[in-house]
């Protein structure tokens, strides 16, 4: 019976354990988590989502405070079009986070940064270019382009000295998205180094509509693998979404995947950035507690726990401090929804907004509990302790469980002393 350790992901001449821990913003996939994946010979991700805020928390900078101070006169204004990111600040924050992570790297694995196109930041092209270039400048091993179609993202990096040596990959949820991406970038003569095929059971934003349940990762993976074979393109394909055990991973590796990207199992790792109380919410969740809804202002459906405090909250938009989701015209679907509720409840001090959420603020405060479909199985991966809480696990334990387990088994961690 095969196990994940019988396979290797090959990039050029180098071989890796074919386990990638997916990027989870905002700092849910911490540097510590990514570093463990790299130390164990796999691939870890940090995320550049809300990087100015992450930098403030980790490296005692004051980027968010300074931006808020600059735009404080606009806080009560529903027009956010003048709220801009300073590109120098953005570069500095990205570099700090990437450099600090890369300088702590040990072992033979790699560290990539997850870069979501949907963080449009009121100047989509300029800010994305700075994010990509700064991560490359700071020595990141690779960049995973996510949450968006990224048709122009390779072009934004084309003049960078590391454009051809860094590993660059893209997440797609259909063969069609990949075909268009390749066509749009054909003139750059630079293929992606890997393609992550993310199915409908993943956490975070989904590349599907609310009919997500009609899609199947194995089918999409087979279509992508077949397409690349027909086109004689040798690009490693990485399967993601709902791969919960080592045996699940093996079945994808035996069917054309070069590696798997996993995340949900690691949300309850000691190294994961979620607060301890939120990890317990993930453990306690039952299948009925997990929903896919459209409250994210990005326009993509998102999977989350029903009990997320972000759902129905009506906080004032925080764009002067954050503003990561402002489109190129200074709009965000949450601002529209919030203004509508305020206008229809003129006498209320507090409003509730059900159809959208202030994603920046709630992700930043860990109040939007996005999760994968199989979150309800996390309780089966550990011990329930006296008092009713669940024991969190080390990332090493989870990683090795994927790497070595067979027969759909999940190894429980050693009980605390
Ligand atoms: C809590 C959480 C946050 C996530 N955030 C992001 C993100 O910021 N960007 C992204 O591209 N994918 C995100 N994902 C998706 C993962 O990177 C990964 O591809 C997917 O969840 C793998 O499926 P699994 O969770 O069933 O293992 C997130 C997943 C989870 C569970």
Atom of ligand 1 nearest to the CA of 201: 26
- Give residue 152 CA to ligand 1 midpoint distance, Å: 23
Measuring from atom 30 of ligand 1, which residue has the nearest CA?
A: 203
| Residue of 4, 19, 23, 43 with the most ligand 1 atoms within 8 Å of its CB, for mutation | 23
Percent of the chain past pLDDT 70, that is, above it, reads: 100
Please give the C-alpha separations between residue 225 and each of 2, 221, 252, in angstroms, as whole numbers.
Answer: 21, 6, 11
Q: In this structure, are residues 172 and 200 in contact, taking their beta carbons and an 8 Å threshold?
A: no
Mean pLDDT of the chain: 97
Helical residues (DSSP H) of 40-123, grouped into ranges: 51-59, 63-70, 87-103
- Give residue 202 CA to ligand 1 midpoint distance, Å: 6
User: ∠ at Cα 173 (168, 179), nearest 5°?
Assistant: 65
Burial class (CB in 10 A: 0-12, 13-18, 19+), 305: buried
Measuring from atom 7 of ligand 1, which residue has the nearest CA?
A: 24
Atom of ligand 1 nearest to the CA of 22: 17
Mean pLDDT, to the nearest integer, of 230-234? 98
Pocket of ligand 1 (CB under 6 A): 22-25, 28, 47, 49, 114, 116, 146-147, 171, 198, 201-204, 240-243, 261-264, 267, 370-372, 374
Taking the whole predicted model, whether its pTM rises above 0.85 is answered as yes
The CATH number of the domain covering residues in 4-274+387-404: 3.20.20.70
Mean pLDDT, to the nearest integer, of 244-266? 98
Mean pLDDT, to the nearest integer, of 29-58? 98
Q: What is the pLDDT of residue 221?
A: 98
Residue with tokens 């919960």, as numbered in its chain: 244
Measuring from atom 5 of ligand 1, which residue has the nearest CA?
A: 24
Q: What is the pLDDT of residue 417?
A: 79
Q: What is the pLDDT of residue 416?
A: 85
- Give residue 153 CA to ligand 1 midpoint distance, Å: 20
Q: In this structure, are residues 241 and 213 in contact, taking their beta carbons and an 8 Å threshold?
A: no
- Tens digit of pLDDT for each residue in 52-67? 999 999 999 999 999 9
Q: How far is CA 378 from the centre of its chain?
A: 19
- Give residue 273 CA to ligand 1 midpoint distance, Å: 13
Measuring from atom 20 of ligand 1, which residue has the nearest CA?
A: 202
- Tens digit of pLDDT for each residue in 71-121? 999 999 999 999 999 999 999 999 999 999 999 999 999 999 999 999 999
Q: What is the pLDDT of residue 337?
A: 98
Q: What is the pLDDT of residue 383?
A: 98
- Tens digit of pLDDT for each residue in 138-182? 999 999 999 999 999 999 999 999 999 999 999 999 999 999 999
Atom of ligand 1 nearest to the CA of 147: 11
Measuring from atom 6 of ligand 1, which residue has the nearest CA?
A: 24
Please give the C-alpha separations between residue 309 and each of 8, 19, 132, 204, 344, in angstroms, as whole numbers.
Answer: 41, 32, 32, 16, 23
List the structure tokens of 348. Answer: 């209320």
- Tens digit of pLDDT for each residue in 378-406? 999 999 999 999 999 999 999 999 999 99
| Residue of 117, 148, 202, 376 with the most ligand 1 atoms within 8 Å of its CB, for mutation | 202
Mean pLDDT, to the nearest integer, of 189-205? 98
Atom of ligand 1 nearest to the CA of 25: 8
Mean pLDDT, to the nearest integer, of 321-341? 97
* Sequence spans of domains, the chain: 4-274+387-404
State the DSSP string of 253-286.
HTTT-SEEEE-GGGGGBTTSSS-HHHHHHHHH--
Burial class (CB in 10 A: 0-12, 13-18, 19+), 192: buried
Mean pLDDT, to the nearest integer, of 206-230? 98
């Amino acid at each position: 019976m095969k196990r994940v350790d019988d396979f290797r992901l090959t990039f050029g001449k180098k071989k890796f354990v074919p386990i990638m821990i997916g990027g989870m913003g905002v700092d849910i996939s911490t540097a510590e988590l990514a570093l463990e994946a790299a130390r164990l010979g796999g691939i870890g991700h940090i995320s550049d989502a809300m990087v100015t805020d992450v930098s403030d928390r980790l490296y005692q900078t004051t980027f968010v405070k300074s931006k808020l101070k600059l735009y404080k006169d606009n806080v009560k204004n529903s027009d956010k079009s003048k709220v801009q990111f300073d590109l120098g600040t953005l570069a500095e924050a990205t570099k700090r986070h990437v450099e600090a992570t890369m300088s702590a790297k040990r072992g033979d694995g790699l560290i990539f940064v997850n870069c979501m196109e949907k963080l449009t930041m009121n100047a989509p092209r300029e800010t994305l270019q700075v994010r990509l270039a700064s991560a490359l400048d700071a020595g990141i091993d690779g960049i995973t382009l996510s949450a968006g179609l990224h048709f122009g993202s390779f072009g934004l990096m084309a003049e960078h000295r590391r454009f051809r040596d860094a590993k660059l990959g893209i997440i797609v949820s259909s063969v069609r998205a990949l075909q268009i991406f390749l066509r749009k970038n054909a003139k750059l003569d630079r293929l992606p180094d890997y393609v992550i095929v993310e199915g409908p059971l993943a956490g975070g934003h989904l590349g599907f509509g609310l009919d997500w349940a009609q899609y199947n990762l194995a089918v999409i993976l087979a279509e992508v693998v077949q397409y690349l074979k027909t086109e004689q393109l040798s690009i490693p394909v990485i399967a993601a979404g709902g791969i919960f055990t080592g045996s699940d991973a093996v079945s994808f590796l035996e069917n054309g995947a070069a590696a798997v990207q996993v995340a949900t199992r690691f949300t309850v790792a000691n190294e994961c950035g979620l607060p301890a109380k939120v990890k317990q919410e993930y453990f306690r969740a039952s299948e009925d507690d997990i929903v896919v809804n459209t409250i994210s202002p990005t326009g993509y459906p998102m999977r989350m726990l029903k009990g997320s405090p972000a759902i129905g909250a009506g906080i004032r938009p925080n764009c002067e401090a954050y503003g990561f989701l402002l489109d190129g015209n200074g709009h965000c679907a949450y601002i529209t929804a919030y203004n509508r509720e305020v206008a229809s409840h003129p006498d209320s001090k507090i409003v509730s907004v059900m159809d959208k959420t202030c994603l920046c603020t709630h992700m930043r405060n860990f109040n939007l509990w996005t999760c994968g479909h199989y979150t309800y199985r996390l309780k089966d991966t550990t011990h329930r302790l006296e008092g009713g809480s669940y024991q969190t696990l080390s990332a090493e334990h989870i990683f090795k469980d994927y790497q070595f387990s067979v027969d759909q088994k999940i190894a429980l961690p050693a009980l605390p002393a």
